[in-house]
A = this chain, B = another copy of it.
Amino acid sequence: MKKNKHYERMKRLKGRELHRFVSGFVDGEGSFSVSVARQPYKHLKKGWKWILNPLFQVYQHEDNLWFLEFLRDDVFKTGRIHRKSSPYHVFTYSVENRQILQERIVSFFQKYRLATKDEDFQIFALVIRAISEKEHLEERGFKKIIDLVFSMNKHGKQRKYSKEDIYKELSEQFRN
């Protein structure tokens, strides 16, 4: 996208003032989530295992795509932008790499604290830390993370799987 005059103006905002603006913006338009999904895994009898997908996203109408590019190129210096399939006019900026989430996203919002989304963010940060400390590789740690995940985003969309779905047969996944 051709960089517009707003992009150039935002670029002149630096340091703490820029970061507070971004924090306020993300408080409204961003989300921190951890989805739980099933992934093919032939070593288990059932043929799949549960995995955790932490995700940071910011949404914006296509007219404001430049602001997502600004977040990607000038603020966080990481992440991807793609058009949502529905609604079609919305774009999403996203970061899903766990290490980058820890180093760029979690550390940013620990310093420039959110307002209305701080509580969910703090749980998200605990999940990212538990994963970086490899707690999810043992059943007890995985269950602890699942409990954290289910305490987040109470008003978000319905989860595909219930906690019972996940807990059932979970022990097989952690048997050697």
Q: Which residues of A contact B (CB under 8 A)?
A: 6, 9-10, 13, 16-18, 20-29, 60-61, 63-64, 67, 70, 113, 115-116, 118-119, 155
Contacts and interface: CB of A to CB of B under 8 A. Distances in A.
Contacts of A70: 115
Given A23-B24, A24-B21, A155 B115 contact: no
13 contacts: A9-B113, A10-B115, A16-B20, A17-B20, A20-B20, A21-B23, A24-B24, A25-B25, A25-B28, A28-B28, A60-B116, A64-B115, A64-B116
A78 to B, nearest CB: 20
A61 B117 CA distance: 12
A144 B106 CA distance: 48
A21 B21 CA distance: 5
Q: How many copies does the complex hold?
A: 2
A16 B116 CA distance: 20
A106 to B, nearest CB: 18
Given A17-B16, A24-B25, A27-B28, A6 B118 contact: yes
A2 to B, nearest CB: 16
Most B CB within 10 A of own CB, among A25, A64, A113: A25
Nearest to A112: B21
A18 B19 CA distance: 11
